[in-house]
Amino acid sequence: MQAAALERAPTILIVDDDIDLRESLGELLETEGFEVATAPDGLAALDQLRRGLRPSVILLDLMMPRMNGWDFRQQQRSDEDLKDIPVVVISAAGLSAAAVKTQLGDVGFVPKPTPEADLLDEIRNRSSR
């Protein structure tokens, strides 16, 4: 086997309470060569991350039960082990990219409904940093 074949594909963590969206985005990303992990809310995502998951990018919804995207991002940014994992916000909250960046820091932003090409561009841009 070649060394490249042994390398794992980059992992994307999808954090969204909408199971249909998690599944459809997961299928899209897998066809693009990514590994996919999912979480239904910020608490579940933090649990996975604190147990060692290190995705190349986190796709983060803002409006979720238990722990929303704003609270997740605050926790992530205050954790030395997690703060440098790139985030792309995917949200139907009606916010502008500038407003999201003002509130959440250096994140990518793609509004819902999410255009596939825009999402893939943002993931590739964030994961190459």
Average pLDDT for residues 98-107, to the nearest whole number? 92
CATH number for position 58: 3.40.50.2300
User: CA nearest 16: which of 93, 78, 84?
Assistant: 93
pLDDT greater at residue 67 or residue 3: 67
Beta sheet of 35-39, edge-to-edge order = 35-39, 11-15, 57-60, 87-91, 108-111
Query: How high is the pLDDT of residue 1?
Result: 43
The tally of domains found in the chain comes to 1
Chain segment 6-27, per-residue pLDDT in tens: 567 899 999 999 999 999 999 9
Quote the domain boundaries for residue 84: 3-127
pLDDT for res 37? 98
Q: In this predicted model, what pLDDT tens digit does every residue of 26-72 receive, in sequence order?
A: 999 999 999 999 999 999 999 999 999 999 999 999 999 999 999 99
